[in-house]
Amino acid sequence: MSGGRLFVIGLGPGDLALLTPEAQAALDHCTDLFGYLPYIERLPERPGTRHHASDNREELDRARAALTLAAEGQMVGVVSGGDPGVFAMASAVFEAIESGPAAWRALEVTVIPGISAMLAAAARVGAPLGHDFAVVSLSDNLKPWPLVLERLGAAASAGFALALYNPISRARPWQLGAALDHLRGILPAETPVVFATAVSRPDERIEIVTLAEAEPLRADMRTLVLIGTAETRRIARGEGRRDWLYAPRKVSA
Protein backbone atom coordinates (compact mmCIF):
# COMPACT_ATOMS: atom_id res chain seq x y z
CA MET A 1 0.00 0.00 0.00
CA SER A 2 1.20 3.55 -0.60
CA GLY A 3 0.26 7.05 0.53
CA GLY A 4 1.66 6.71 4.02
CA ARG A 5 4.13 9.19 5.41
CA LEU A 6 6.41 9.41 8.37
CA PHE A 7 7.16 12.69 10.12
CA VAL A 8 9.93 12.79 12.71
CA ILE A 9 8.93 15.80 14.75
CA GLY A 10 10.88 17.96 17.19
CA LEU A 11 8.68 19.33 19.97
CA GLY A 12 11.14 21.87 21.38
CA PRO A 13 12.19 22.03 25.04
CA GLY A 14 8.73 22.09 26.61
CA ASP A 15 6.78 25.32 26.25
CA LEU A 16 4.39 25.01 23.31
CA ALA A 17 5.40 28.54 22.28
CA LEU A 18 8.71 26.96 21.29
CA LEU A 19 7.05 24.37 19.05
CA THR A 20 7.48 25.53 15.46
CA PRO A 21 4.46 26.10 13.22
CA GLU A 22 5.87 23.42 10.87
CA ALA A 23 5.94 20.90 13.73
CA GLN A 24 2.40 21.84 14.73
CA ALA A 25 1.17 21.39 11.15
CA ALA A 26 2.78 17.93 11.00
CA LEU A 27 1.19 16.95 14.34
CA ASP A 28 -2.17 18.06 12.97
CA HIS A 29 -1.69 15.79 9.93
CA CYS A 30 -0.95 12.59 11.82
CA THR A 31 -3.30 9.68 12.43
CA ASP A 32 -0.77 8.05 14.80
CA LEU A 33 1.84 9.58 17.09
CA PHE A 34 4.68 7.58 18.63
CA GLY A 35 7.01 8.75 21.38
CA TYR A 36 8.45 8.48 24.83
CA LEU A 37 5.59 8.77 27.33
CA PRO A 38 6.40 12.24 28.81
CA TYR A 39 6.60 13.76 25.31
CA ILE A 40 3.38 12.11 24.15
CA GLU A 41 1.64 13.31 27.33
CA ARG A 42 2.50 16.90 26.52
CA LEU A 43 0.43 16.76 23.35
CA PRO A 44 -3.27 17.52 23.56
CA GLU A 45 -5.43 14.51 22.62
CA ARG A 46 -7.31 15.02 19.39
CA PRO A 47 -10.11 12.95 17.93
CA GLY A 48 -8.75 10.94 15.01
CA THR A 49 -5.19 10.75 16.34
CA ARG A 50 -3.98 7.68 18.20
CA HIS A 51 -1.21 8.12 20.75
CA HIS A 52 1.35 5.31 21.16
CA ALA A 53 3.49 6.04 24.21
CA SER A 54 6.45 3.87 25.10
CA ASP A 55 9.44 3.60 27.39
CA ASN A 56 12.65 5.54 26.84
CA ARG A 57 14.77 2.52 26.03
CA GLU A 58 12.57 1.15 23.28
CA GLU A 59 13.63 3.55 20.56
CA LEU A 60 14.31 1.04 17.80
CA ASP A 61 11.08 -0.91 18.44
CA ARG A 62 9.16 2.36 18.43
CA ALA A 63 10.76 3.39 15.13
CA ARG A 64 9.89 0.01 13.57
CA ALA A 65 6.29 0.17 14.77
CA ALA A 66 5.95 3.67 13.31
CA LEU A 67 7.51 2.63 9.98
CA THR A 68 5.24 -0.42 9.78
CA LEU A 69 2.13 1.74 10.15
CA ALA A 70 3.41 4.34 7.67
CA ALA A 71 4.08 1.54 5.15
CA GLU A 72 0.45 0.48 5.62
CA GLY A 73 -0.64 3.93 4.43
CA GLN A 74 -1.08 5.87 7.67
CA MET A 75 0.16 9.37 8.44
CA VAL A 76 2.52 8.68 11.28
CA GLY A 77 4.48 11.01 13.54
CA VAL A 78 7.40 10.09 15.76
CA VAL A 79 8.02 12.81 18.31
CA SER A 80 11.12 13.82 20.26
CA GLY A 81 11.73 16.58 22.74
CA GLY A 82 13.94 19.37 21.42
CA ASP A 83 15.30 18.49 18.02
CA PRO A 84 14.70 14.93 16.75
CA GLY A 85 18.21 14.74 15.31
CA VAL A 86 19.98 15.51 18.62
CA PHE A 87 20.32 12.34 20.76
CA ALA A 88 16.80 11.45 19.74
CA MET A 89 14.48 9.49 17.46
CA ALA A 90 15.66 10.50 13.97
CA SER A 91 18.76 8.28 14.21
CA ALA A 92 16.66 5.34 15.42
CA VAL A 93 14.29 5.80 12.48
CA PHE A 94 17.13 5.74 9.95
CA GLU A 95 18.75 2.77 11.67
CA ALA A 96 15.44 0.93 11.34
CA ILE A 97 15.09 1.95 7.68
CA GLU A 98 18.62 0.80 6.84
CA SER A 99 18.14 -2.63 8.38
CA GLY A 100 14.44 -3.04 7.53
CA PRO A 101 12.37 -4.20 4.54
CA ALA A 102 13.15 -2.59 1.17
CA ALA A 103 9.71 -0.93 1.11
CA TRP A 104 10.73 1.33 4.01
CA ARG A 105 13.38 2.97 1.83
CA ALA A 106 10.70 4.14 -0.57
CA LEU A 107 8.65 5.79 2.18
CA GLU A 108 8.36 9.53 2.32
CA VAL A 109 10.07 10.54 5.56
CA THR A 110 10.25 14.15 6.72
CA VAL A 111 12.38 15.26 9.65
CA ILE A 112 11.06 18.44 11.22
CA PRO A 113 13.63 20.32 13.31
CA GLY A 114 12.95 21.59 16.80
CA ILE A 115 14.59 23.95 19.26
CA SER A 116 17.15 21.81 21.04
CA ALA A 117 17.67 22.07 24.81
CA MET A 118 21.14 23.56 24.37
CA LEU A 119 19.76 26.48 22.39
CA ALA A 120 16.96 27.16 24.86
CA ALA A 121 19.39 26.86 27.81
CA ALA A 122 22.02 29.09 26.22
CA ALA A 123 19.44 31.76 25.47
CA ARG A 124 18.47 31.96 29.14
CA VAL A 125 21.97 33.05 30.21
CA GLY A 126 23.02 35.15 27.23
CA ALA A 127 25.27 33.74 24.50
CA PRO A 128 27.61 31.12 25.96
CA LEU A 129 27.55 29.13 22.70
CA GLY A 130 28.20 32.21 20.58
CA HIS A 131 31.48 30.81 19.29
CA ASP A 132 32.77 27.28 18.59
CA PHE A 133 31.22 24.61 20.79
CA ALA A 134 30.92 20.83 21.04
CA VAL A 135 27.93 18.75 22.07
CA VAL A 136 28.35 15.55 24.04
CA SER A 137 25.90 13.12 25.60
CA LEU A 138 27.15 11.79 28.92
CA SER A 139 25.09 8.66 28.51
CA ASP A 140 27.24 5.56 28.28
CA ASN A 141 24.28 3.33 27.41
CA LEU A 142 25.29 3.26 23.75
CA LYS A 143 28.98 4.22 23.86
CA PRO A 144 31.88 3.31 26.13
CA TRP A 145 32.60 5.68 29.01
CA PRO A 146 36.32 6.09 28.17
CA LEU A 147 35.25 7.50 24.79
CA VAL A 148 33.04 10.07 26.54
CA LEU A 149 36.00 11.26 28.60
CA GLU A 150 38.28 11.27 25.57
CA ARG A 151 35.87 13.46 23.60
CA LEU A 152 35.27 15.82 26.52
CA GLY A 153 39.00 16.20 27.06
CA ALA A 154 39.74 16.78 23.39
CA ALA A 155 37.00 19.38 23.03
CA ALA A 156 37.85 21.25 26.22
CA SER A 157 41.57 21.24 25.38
CA ALA A 158 40.80 22.66 21.94
CA GLY A 159 38.86 25.57 23.45
CA PHE A 160 35.33 24.46 22.59
CA ALA A 161 32.52 25.41 24.95
CA LEU A 162 30.51 22.29 25.83
CA ALA A 163 26.84 21.43 25.88
CA LEU A 164 26.29 18.22 27.86
CA TYR A 165 23.09 16.21 27.36
CA ASN A 166 21.89 13.29 29.50
CA PRO A 167 24.12 14.34 32.43
CA ILE A 168 22.67 12.01 35.05
CA SER A 169 19.95 9.45 35.70
CA ARG A 170 19.12 6.84 38.29
CA ALA A 171 20.96 4.23 36.23
CA ARG A 172 23.93 6.60 35.60
CA PRO A 173 24.56 8.36 38.92
CA TRP A 174 28.36 8.90 38.83
CA GLN A 175 29.16 9.92 35.26
CA LEU A 176 28.57 13.67 35.65
CA GLY A 177 30.87 13.85 38.68
CA ALA A 178 33.58 11.98 36.79
CA ALA A 179 33.15 14.26 33.77
CA LEU A 180 33.41 17.42 35.90
CA ASP A 181 36.53 16.06 37.64
CA HIS A 182 38.08 15.35 34.26
CA LEU A 183 37.33 18.87 33.04
CA ARG A 184 38.74 20.42 36.24
CA GLY A 185 42.08 18.94 35.18
CA ILE A 186 41.92 20.87 31.90
CA LEU A 187 40.00 24.13 32.38
CA PRO A 188 40.53 27.04 34.81
CA ALA A 189 38.65 26.74 38.12
CA GLU A 190 36.61 29.92 37.36
CA THR A 191 35.25 28.59 34.06
CA PRO A 192 31.49 29.23 34.16
CA VAL A 193 29.18 26.22 34.32
CA VAL A 194 25.42 26.45 33.79
CA PHE A 195 22.94 23.92 35.13
CA ALA A 196 19.76 24.56 33.14
CA THR A 197 16.92 22.33 34.31
CA ALA A 198 13.50 21.93 32.69
CA VAL A 199 14.05 24.97 30.50
CA SER A 200 10.79 26.60 29.38
CA ARG A 201 8.73 24.35 31.66
CA PRO A 202 6.93 25.55 34.81
CA ASP A 203 9.67 24.23 37.12
CA GLU A 204 12.57 25.74 35.18
CA ARG A 205 15.73 26.31 37.23
CA ILE A 206 18.92 27.98 35.99
CA GLU A 207 22.11 28.11 38.04
CA ILE A 208 25.44 29.62 37.07
CA VAL A 209 28.44 28.44 39.09
CA THR A 210 32.17 28.04 38.52
CA LEU A 211 33.75 24.77 37.50
CA ALA A 212 35.32 24.60 40.96
CA GLU A 213 31.83 24.79 42.53
CA ALA A 214 30.04 22.54 40.05
CA GLU A 215 28.50 19.51 41.77
CA PRO A 216 26.49 16.74 40.14
CA LEU A 217 23.73 17.21 42.73
CA ARG A 218 22.60 20.30 40.86
CA ALA A 219 21.54 18.17 37.87
CA ASP A 220 18.78 15.70 37.16
CA MET A 221 17.50 14.00 34.01
CA ARG A 222 16.00 17.26 32.77
CA THR A 223 19.21 19.27 33.04
CA LEU A 224 21.38 20.56 30.25
CA VAL A 225 24.89 21.43 31.45
CA LEU A 226 26.84 24.15 29.65
CA ILE A 227 30.57 24.51 30.25
CA GLY A 228 32.27 27.70 29.16
CA THR A 229 35.86 28.19 28.08
CA ALA A 230 38.74 30.26 29.40
CA GLU A 231 37.39 33.01 27.11
CA THR A 232 33.76 33.00 28.32
CA ARG A 233 32.80 36.43 29.69
CA ARG A 234 30.57 36.79 32.76
CA ILE A 235 28.75 40.09 33.32
CA ALA A 236 27.78 40.49 36.96
CA ARG A 237 24.41 42.23 37.33
CA GLY A 238 24.07 42.45 41.09
CA GLU A 239 21.75 41.06 43.72
CA GLY A 240 18.61 39.35 42.46
CA ARG A 241 19.60 39.45 38.79
CA ARG A 242 21.08 36.54 36.89
CA ASP A 243 24.53 37.25 35.45
CA TRP A 244 25.02 37.19 31.70
CA LEU A 245 27.45 34.80 30.06
CA TYR A 246 28.69 35.22 26.54
CA ALA A 247 31.34 33.94 24.18
CA PRO A 248 33.23 36.87 22.69
CA ARG A 249 33.09 37.00 18.89
CA LYS A 250 36.84 37.30 18.61
CA VAL A 251 39.12 34.50 19.76
CA SER A 252 42.89 34.90 19.92
CA ALA A 253 45.24 32.11 18.93
CB 9 within 8 A of CB 27: yes
Of 4, 14, 128, 192, the residue at the interface with ligand SAH (CB under 6 A) is 14
Q: What track of x and - describes contact with ligand SAH for positions 220 through 249 (by CB under 6 A)? A: -xxxx-------------------------
CB 23 within 8 A of CB 41: no
Of 86, 136, 187, 226, the residue at the interface with ligand SAH (CB under 6 A) is 86
Contacts of 118 (CB under 8 A, 6+ apart): 86, 129, 135, 163, 165, 224, 226
* Residue nearer to ligand SAH on the CB measure, 71 or 193: 193
The answer to the question of residue 198 lying near ligand SAH (CB under 6 A) is yes
HSE-CB at 48 with a 13 A cutoff on CA atoms is 5
The nearest distance, CB 93 to ligand SAH, in angstroms, is: 13
- Burial class from Cβ neighbours inside 10 Å (0-12, 13-18, 19+) for residue 159 reads middle
* Residue nearer to ligand SAH on the CB measure, 74 or 200: 200
Residue 239 three-state SS: coil
Of 165, 192, 193, 208, the residue at the interface with ligand SAH (CB under 6 A) is 165
CB 224 within 8 A of CB 121: yes
* Residue nearer to ligand SAH on the CB measure, 34 or 87: 87
User: CA 235, CA 237: separation in Å to the nearest integer?
Assistant: 6
**C-beta nearest to ligand SAH: residue:** 82
Handedness of CA 6, 92, 225, 250 (dihedral sign): negative
* Residue nearer to ligand SAH on the CB measure, 202 or 240: 202
Q: What track of x and - describes contact with ligand SAH for positions 117 through 136 (by CB under 6 A)? A: x---x---------------
Stretch that binds ligand SAH, among 95-103, 144-152, 218-226, 231-239 (CB under 6 A): 218-226
The nearest distance, CB 101 to ligand SAH, in angstroms, is: 27
The nearest distance, CB 152 to ligand SAH, in angstroms, is: 15
Contacts with ligand SAH by CB under 6 A: the residue count is 25
| 82 DSSP assignment | B
- The Cβ of residue 78 has, within 10 Å, a number of other Cβ atoms equal to 30
CB 205 within 8 A of CB 173: no
Residues that bind ligand SAH (CB under 6 A): 13-14, 80-83, 86-88, 116-117, 121, 165-167, 196-201, 221-224
